[in-house]
Structure 1
């Protein structure tokens, strides 16, 4: 085998290995309960979800694109900057800020537009509606979860996120 062919073969093997070891990306797009309002960084559900994925042997990064007080209109406007070509799963937590800010009538349309954009990019959407927070430990404000509550939320999302990464 010529040196040129050996180099080409080595390059192909290295390229395949690099592609196989790239981390899949998960983006948590949402409001304060995605951001982790009231808890330390690393105690929010996206960080805990990443740790759980890694504990299962899944080398996936989870980007926290949560913003305190954000509305679904804000999430829709940030979609293109929050996800990129490596995003495979979008964990969407629309929150309740639309109603608090007088934009409740736009919520369903904005969520639909976000889901349509994700579908166009073949990104699996895992919804986190406010009802998922019932029964989980909350901070004294009654709205935001404790670190344990975020851990429990991440654990409940784990199977669906792993399923989205396997597709």
Structure 2
């Protein structure tokens, strides 16, 4: 497996309007392939296939999109393949999921795969914020999920969220610190706040001010691609 790389940032305040939770009520999306920018250098796909599960809420599920190829996991798969990485991403995002709901379905998703996934992207916590669940409860659910993934020897990239200030400074401090502490404890890769580069630009969000537009998703893929690539497990290049 490759060496985990982490990006560390100091958390700052987060607008109430972007509580980054309400991660909707639509059905989960299916994996699809997004478009590649015309000016992007496309490298031939090489190496063994890397099977990835993108596990999260509506921010992964593609809330508000008629075409689920516009979802973050689909666009991420396309971007990885454009970089020559033979990736296949299963979109296991379910709108409305809290960490408790994610824990309830985690083993079912893992057991439903034909083979053990090579990599797991874990994106949850926004709906816990929406419901005002305690950071201790959220952390306990993450602990349980990361324990399951660790026991199955599946490398993880943890996609962090950030609490809005309306929950109070103590709640905010506990929640914001949680992702880094979990990543350190379980040895996972980490993006401390994966929406960092778009959350202040209202034009990149749908009318609910929570879910990114298609352009917002593209911006998220562009801003997180290098970190996802750095976290991927190493595979042998295809022969011949």
Q: TM-score, normalised by structure 2?
A: 0.56
The answer to whether the 8 Å contact 2:125/2:138 transfers is no
Q: Which of 140, 154, 164 lines up with 1:109 in the alignment?
A: 140
1:63–1:144 CA distance, 2 compared to 1 (3 A)? same
Q: Which of 39, 55, 64 lines up with 1:38 in the alignment?
A: 64
| Cα drift, residue 51 of structure 1 | 0.2
Question: In the aligned structure 1, how far is the partner of 2:77 from the partner of 2:57?
Answer: 18
The answer to whether the 8 Å contact 2:47/2:85 transfers is no
Q: Please provide the CA RMSD for this pair.
A: 2.1
Instruction: Determine the structure 1 residue equivalent to 2:39.
Output: none
| Cα drift, residue 135 of structure 1 | 4.3
| Cα drift, residue 74 of structure 1 | 1.1
Instruction: Determine the structure 1 residue equivalent to 2:150.
Output: 119
Matches within 5 A, 1:39-118: 39=65, 40-83=67-110, 84=113, 85-101=115-131, 103-104=133-134, 105-118=136-149
Q: TM-score, normalised by structure 1?
A: 0.78
| Cα drift, residue 82 of structure 1 | 2.1
Deviations 1:87-116 (A, max 9, x none): 122111113212333533421111111112
The answer to whether the 8 Å contact 1:29/1:65 transfers is yes
Question: In the aligned structure 2, how far is the partner of 1:69 from the partner of 1:103?
Answer: 14
Question: In the aligned structure 1, how far is the partner of 2:149 from the partner of 2:75?
Answer: 23
Q: Which runs of 5+ in 2 are unaligned?
A: 1-45, 162-192, 199-203, 236-240
Question: In the aligned structure 1, how far is the partner of 2:72 from the partner of 2:132?
Answer: 27
Q: Which runs of 5+ in 1 are unaligned?
A: 1-19
